[in-house]
Structure 1
């Protein structure tokens, strides 16, 4: 490690500890000495100047909080002495859309191997969906899953059953609790593709959810839009839809949403309504026949070369830490800039985690109308949160705070680095579809799974997911590439992390070098050459966002 502290922006009045520092230690940085008045854990911050109560703390070059008491230079910032504060924002007539386009000559002739669809999109996977219109159909999904997954070769081999059998046998032969606890059993989970009946189909995915009825009508309509986003997604070959019949989320709404996203929709789509079919046995039998026919058709698809402009990356962070904003997030921000320069699309979401950087993003919108839409969505979202007794300032989780993200503005300023530096071409409300190459802003929650679910529904065929604490989040149809902000996490949770950017913290790699490395990895994943950890473990997280109350 070349440095033990870092100033992220020249205008900051804090330094970030890159390793644990001790009270009384003298830190030399930028030609100045700082005597630490407290112990400073790695990822946390200390002041570079004396501040009086109410003074502003600047990090990433923006306001991230105000101190609640007089503090001396070298004082560590905590939840007790720093409270969230962020700059206001307004829509300006001046657009700031110029950016330093990165050199992409190393990738200009590269392609990836994907599944070409009739609408011109290209998938990084080839999946069949089974979709319920309402939670009442979830049991039928379970029946279909049991009937299809193992026989068609999509099961996952693991040693957990053998481990349980061994422990049961030990108990039955008189083992004590301490004996059970000390037993070592190696467990390995993996997919076996050799026995697949349909080798060109990556899987059958069952989008179970708890919506479709109750709530408010807007929730049902939004759910239909999300499901339509998955059915029309380039990673999907076709779908079997199960409807009860009387629910709010009517099939007619789904069909309208499908047409909105693809006016010439031609994928195989089988719709069964239980109240029309009658007996459960008849419903399941018909669903099995139709799904098998659809799988046979989907199996005819093969990977073919496609330009990198057909890649749409969703940007996500979860279990963030104090290093996320200075390693993993800016690294994928550079990856984003590279892909956009190559004609691809990128989605930056998690609106609660853009608090404090709204002005920068608003100014980067290519039109005033887009800037106004972004501002309206942000203000409306925060107002609704406050009406519910919360607010963006309550966004950091206990894990975030423990690892250095002690205000929402600190967390947000680092999270926004995922979006790189390019102009914002369009602002979308959930669950609208990405239609333009470039950087798109999508209104979603900060919740990992809800936001990832939304980004994929809007068209992301690859997701880059940064984490400092570790999270297994995945998606049913889109590969979620996990990127650690620190090497300790990469080594500790190597079974769920794909890429390490702790190399940036350790001075072994620049942000640009890491970003380029990540783009090469994305291309390999998009081509089916690498199976990411979330896919390998069958981490099929799917949670629609409910924005309304329940009636």
Structure 2
């Protein structure tokens, strides 16, 4: 039988409602006996004691807020009676021992990956067509229209819309309500196209609004990010479009590649429009260089690779009050399993680590990494406050509506994606993952900016937990959407890939669901299945300009 409530940590002074609770509902949970004094919605929290103004609210064993009014025992916590608060952090003696999970079932397992000459192994084999400046976006689109269909990489929708019938109804005087009530969706049979290059999983055409204007640092950072995409083992090579006069010069990109990987040897082509006599010649050269590159990319085939070669990005978005007790802990257990197997998980979204800095700092193996994490968080916080914002502004209206009423509360649950293993490296934006073990990567909390960054730092798979639902994907790295609750998984089954709602209902343990998730990740890594964001071609790509983005 499913419990009505959950106490996440023994030192917490609040509980989570797993179901809607009415006023005067008697709750018996271990040694606690509470009668609710207000309605408490599912996913929201209620007080285990009387709170005076200024009293600390503890959840996940950490400070997540302070009472702004008197809160009676059994009363729901809301944005009207609680404000964000987080503990200070210091670099101190660190505790890097941990209890490794049982990974005996995966010890000798492999996945079918693409082996690169520098020793990296990809889960995809993608060719990129990328502008160095926003002026070239139109030409990227033109190349996409020419190449995708001809080479078998375009994918039609699995539905159409009956616009003709709707127009007839409008011509016959249909009113607004009848138009809105009309079901115009027409299901279509699955459309399969034969690929010309069987070993190339796709051509990805990236668009962005950078490369010129703004500040030079933004263009330099863009080149560093693009160098990271080239270095990602999921990428076979690329065709770059240059206008010629932009800030993001070809030489800057080449220097970034050399610094990042002196042994880089993938095919890369640069086509400059200001050296072309006509647009037709320019587009023709883009197509010819890309086709030449695809011939080379197609020579690489999937071969067995150890699980230790995987780099798993850990992301969340559209979080709810269950994310921190189902989806994120399951992902965190997978993260720990991968560390035990020699792989490299990557925890990002620094604004969503506010309030848990001390526990993460204490897990850093190297004191320099611990100090760097503290410094990066401090700089980020100062920049946010300088423009009149702050980490406390991070929870979105959707987060708040579904129980995450302070940033520290949201962060404490989000950090669960990182499991409990020691932290081997703290990386700034665009820096590369090179060490096995858990890495921290400085990115915004913005979903697409963060997933873009994870792929740019080397992630070959990304798990993305969500309680509200989001279609976010990435052009080069498979994004696995993980639901925190079964209602979401059923309602948005064309977006969600994996459900952890059974942890909430008590049907599964975190460990058992994590083992099932790792099996699924190996299928995706081997190309034996595709995620919904891959199926829908959800190729989101937004470089971070290092301004304040929460």
TM class by shorter-chain length?
over 0.9
Q: How does 1:341-380 map to 2 (within 5 A)?
A: 341-380=340-379
CA deviation after TM superposition for structure 1 residue 88, in Å: 0.2
CA deviation after TM superposition for structure 1 residue 160, in Å: 5.1
- Contact 1:191–1:536 under 8 Å retained in 2: no
Partner of 2:237: 238
- Contact 1:189–1:537 under 8 Å retained in 2: no
CA deviation after TM superposition for structure 1 residue 36, in Å: 0.8
Matched, 1:67 2:67: yes
Q: How does 1:45-56 map to 2 (within 5 A)?
A: 45-56=45-56
- Contact 1:156–1:191 under 8 Å retained in 2: no
Partner of 2:77: 77
- Contact 2:127–2:294 under 8 Å retained in 1: yes
Q: Within 1, Cα distance between the matches of 2:328 and 2:427?
A: 22
- Contact 1:240–1:287 under 8 Å retained in 2: yes
CA deviation after TM superposition for structure 1 residue 329, in Å: 0.2
Q: Within 1, Cα distance between the matches of 2:437 and 2:243?
A: 40
CA deviation after TM superposition for structure 1 residue 477, in Å: 0.9
CA separation of 1:329 and 1:353: change in aligned 2, threshold 3 A: same
Partner of 1:465: 464
Partner of 2:254: 255
- Indicate the SS of the match to 1:242: strand
Task: Give the CA RMSD over aligned residues.
Answer: 1.5
CA separation of 1:78 and 1:175: change in aligned 2, threshold 3 A: closer
Q: How does 1:161-240 map to 2 (within 5 A)?
A: 161-172=160-171, 177-188=176-187, 192-240=191-239
CA deviation after TM superposition for structure 1 residue 406, in Å: 0.1
Bigger drift between 142-151 and 11-20 goes to 142-151
Bigger drift between 178-187 and 503-512 goes to 178-187
- Contact 1:155–1:191 under 8 Å retained in 2: no
Partner of 1:533: 532
Q: Within 2, Cα distance between the matches of 1:453 and 1:310?
A: 20
Partner of 2:381: 382
- Contact 2:161–2:185 under 8 Å retained in 1: no
CA deviation after TM superposition for structure 1 residue 301, in Å: 1.7
Partner of 1:97: 96
Q: Within 2, Cα distance between the matches of 1:310 and 1:169?
A: 57
CA deviation after TM superposition for structure 1 residue 45, in Å: 0.5
Q: Within 2, Cα distance between the matches of 1:192 and 1:161?
A: 12
CA deviation after TM superposition for structure 1 residue 32, in Å: 2.8
Partner of 2:493: 494
CA separation of 1:210 and 1:191: change in aligned 2, threshold 3 A: farther
Q: Within 2, Cα distance between the matches of 1:159 and 1:303?
A: 28
- Indicate the SS of the match to 1:454: helix
Q: Within 2, Cα distance between the matches of 1:97 and 1:336?
A: 16
CA separation of 1:188 and 1:383: change in aligned 2, threshold 3 A: farther
Unaligned runs of 5+ in 1: none
CA deviation after TM superposition for structure 1 residue 172, in Å: 5.0
CA deviation after TM superposition for structure 1 residue 175, in Å: 5.3
TM-score normalised by L of structure 2: 0.97
- Indicate the SS of the match to 1:225: helix
- Indicate the SS of the match to 1:488: helix
CA separation of 1:192 and 1:294: change in aligned 2, threshold 3 A: farther
CA deviation after TM superposition for structure 1 residue 193, in Å: 4.4
CA deviation after TM superposition for structure 1 residue 267, in Å: 0.9
Q: Within 2, Cα distance between the matches of 1:294 and 1:191?
A: 29
- Indicate the SS of the match to 2:203: strand
Matched, 1:287 2:278: no
Q: How does 1:90-169 map to 2 (within 5 A)?
A: 90-92=90-92, 94-158=93-157, 161-169=160-168
- Contact 1:219–1:548 under 8 Å retained in 2: no
Q: Within 2, Cα distance between the matches of 1:295 and 1:477?
A: 15
Q: Within 1, Cα distance between the matches of 2:527 and 2:159?
A: 27
Q: Deviations over 1:48-79 (max 9, x none)?
A: 11121111010000000110122221111000
Partner of 2:273: 274
Q: Within 2, Cα distance between the matches of 1:158 and 1:279?
A: 34
Q: Deviations over 1:327-366 (max 9, x none)?
A: 0001000000001110100110000000010011111111
Partner of 1:87: 87
Q: Deviations over 1:504-534 (max 9, x none)?
A: 0000011111111111110010001111100
Q: Within 2, Cα distance between the matches of 1:146 and 1:191?
A: 21
Residue correspondences, number: 548
Q: Within 2, Cα distance between the matches of 1:199 and 1:175?
A: 49
Q: Within 2, Cα distance between the matches of 1:17 and 1:166?
A: 47
Partner of 1:429: 428
- Indicate the SS of the match to 1:517: helix
Q: Within 2, Cα distance between the matches of 1:134 and 1:433?
A: 23
Partner of 1:7: 7
Q: Within 1, Cα distance between the matches of 2:158 and 2:122?
A: 32
Partner of 2:446: 447
CA deviation after TM superposition for structure 1 residue 26, in Å: 1.1
Q: Within 2, Cα distance between the matches of 1:274 and 1:381?
A: 38
CA separation of 1:198 and 1:173: change in aligned 2, threshold 3 A: farther
CA deviation after TM superposition for structure 1 residue 159, in Å: 5.5
Q: Within 1, Cα distance between the matches of 2:158 and 2:165?
A: 11
Q: Within 1, Cα distance between the matches of 2:96 and 2:437?
A: 12
CA separation of 1:95 and 1:302: change in aligned 2, threshold 3 A: same
Q: Within 1, Cα distance between the matches of 2:161 and 2:79?
A: 47
Q: Deviations over 1:165-218 (max 9, x none)?
A: 443355456655555434334445787444221122111111100001111111
Q: Deviations over 1:473-505 (max 9, x none)?
A: 000011100000001000110110011101000
- Contact 1:211–1:220 under 8 Å retained in 2: yes
Partner of 2:313: 314
- Indicate the SS of the match to 1:65: strand
Bigger drift between 275-284 and 484-493 goes to 275-284
Q: Within 2, Cα distance between the matches of 1:112 and 1:191?
A: 27
CA deviation after TM superposition for structure 1 residue 293, in Å: 1.1
